[in-house]
A and B are shown apart, each in its own frame.
Chain A
Amino acid sequence: MSNEKQIVDNREFSIMINRLSHQLIENHLDFTETVLVGLQPRGVDFARKILNNLVEISGNNNIVLGSLDISFFRDDFGRRETIISPDKLDMNFSIENKRVVLIDDVLFTGRSIRAALDALTSFGRPKEVELMVLIDRRLKRHLPIQPDYVGKSVDSISSERVIVKWGNDGHNKIILLKK
Chain B
Amino acid sequence: MNRLTVKNLLGIKQLTEQDINLIFKTADNFIKIINKPIKKVPTLRDITIANLFFENSTRTKLSFELAEKRLSSDIINFSSSTSSLQKGESLIDTVNNIIAMKVDMVVIRHPNAGASDFIAKNVNSVVINAGDGSHEHPTQALLDAYSIRNKLGLVENKNILIVGDVLHSRVALSNIFCLQKLGATVKVCGPSTLIPRHIHTLGVEHIADLKDGLEWCDVVNILRIQLERQNVKYIPTLREYSMYYGVNREILNSINKKIVIMHPGPINRGIEVSSDVVDSKQSIVLDQVENGVAIRMAVLYLLASKIQK
A residues engaging B (CB < 8 A)? 69, 71-74, 77-78, 82-86, 89, 91, 118, 121-124
Bound complex: CA A73 to CA B38 (Å): 13
> Is B2's CB under 8 angstroms from A82's CB?
yes
Contact A78/B41 with A85-B2, A86-B26 known, Cβ cut-off 8 Å: no
Taking CB atoms, residues of chain A closer than 8 Å to B301 are 72
B247 close to A (CB within 8 Å): no
> Is A73's CB under 8 angstroms from B37's CB?
no
B33: contacting residue among A72, A74, A121, CB under 8 A: A72
Chain B nearest CB, measured from A112 CB (Å): 15
Taking CB atoms, residues of chain A closer than 8 Å to B46 are 78
Q: Secondary structure at chain B's binding surface: helix, strand, loop or mixed?
A: loop
> Is A89's CB under 8 angstroms from B307's CB?
no
Chain B nearest CB, measured from A12 CB (Å): 35
> Is B42's CB under 8 angstroms from A118's CB?
yes
> Is B41's CB under 8 angstroms from A72's CB?
yes
Chain A nearest CB, measured from B51 CB (Å): 20
Count of interface residues, chain B, beta-carbon cutoff 8 Å: 23
Chain A nearest CB, measured from B282 CB (Å): 28
Chain B nearest CB, measured from A101 CB (Å): 20
> Is B305's CB under 8 angstroms from A78's CB?
yes
Bound complex: CA A89 to CA B32 (Å): 7
> Is A83's CB under 8 angstroms from B2's CB?
yes
What are 6 A-B pairs with beta-carbon distances under 8 A? A71-B29, A72-B29, A84-B2, A86-B26, A122-B37, A122-B38
Bound complex: CA A78 to CA B303 (Å): 10
The 7 A-B pairs of least Cβ separation, nearest first, read A72-B41, A122-B38, A86-B29, A83-B305, A72-B43, A85-B2, A89-B32
Contact with A along B40-53 (1 / 0, CB 8 A): 11111011000000
Taking CB atoms, residues of chain B closer than 8 Å to A77 are 43-44, 304-305
> Is A73's CB under 8 angstroms from B305's CB?
no
Contact A122/B41 with A69-B29, A71-B29, A78-B309 known, Cβ cut-off 8 Å: yes
For A124, the closest partner residue in chain B by CB is B37
Bound complex: CA A114 to CA B223 (Å): 47
B residues engaging A (CB < 8 A)? 2-3, 26, 29, 32-33, 36-38, 40-44, 46-47, 71, 301-302, 304-305, 307, 309
Bound complex: CA A70 to CA B190 (Å): 48
Given A78-B304, A121-B38, A123-B37, 11 more contacts at CB 8 Å?
A: A69-B29, A71-B29, A73-B41, A73-B43, A77-B44, A77-B305, A78-B305, A83-B302, A86-B29, A89-B33, A123-B36
Taking CB atoms, residues of chain A closer than 8 Å to B309 are 78
> Is B40's CB under 8 angstroms from A122's CB?
yes
Taking CB atoms, residues of chain B closer than 8 Å to A86 are 26, 29
Taking CB atoms, residues of chain A closer than 8 Å to B3 are 82-83
Taking CB atoms, residues of chain B closer than 8 Å to A85 are 2
**Could you say which of A73, A85, A91 has the most chain B C-beta atoms within 10 Å of its C-beta?**
A85
Bound complex: CA A123 to CA B47 (Å): 24
For B297, the closest partner residue in chain A by CB is A72
Chain B nearest CB, measured from A54 CB (Å): 26
Chain A nearest CB, measured from B300 CB (Å): 12
Taking CB atoms, residues of chain A closer than 8 Å to B307 are 78
Taking CB atoms, residues of chain A closer than 8 Å to B38 are 121-123
Bound complex: CA A17 to CA B182 (Å): 46
Taking CB atoms, residues of chain B closer than 8 Å to A121 are 38
Chain A nearest CB, measured from B142 CB (Å): 17
Bound complex: CA A89 to CA B29 (Å): 7
Bound complex: CA A139 to CA B40 (Å): 33
Chain B nearest CB, measured from A72 CB (Å): 4
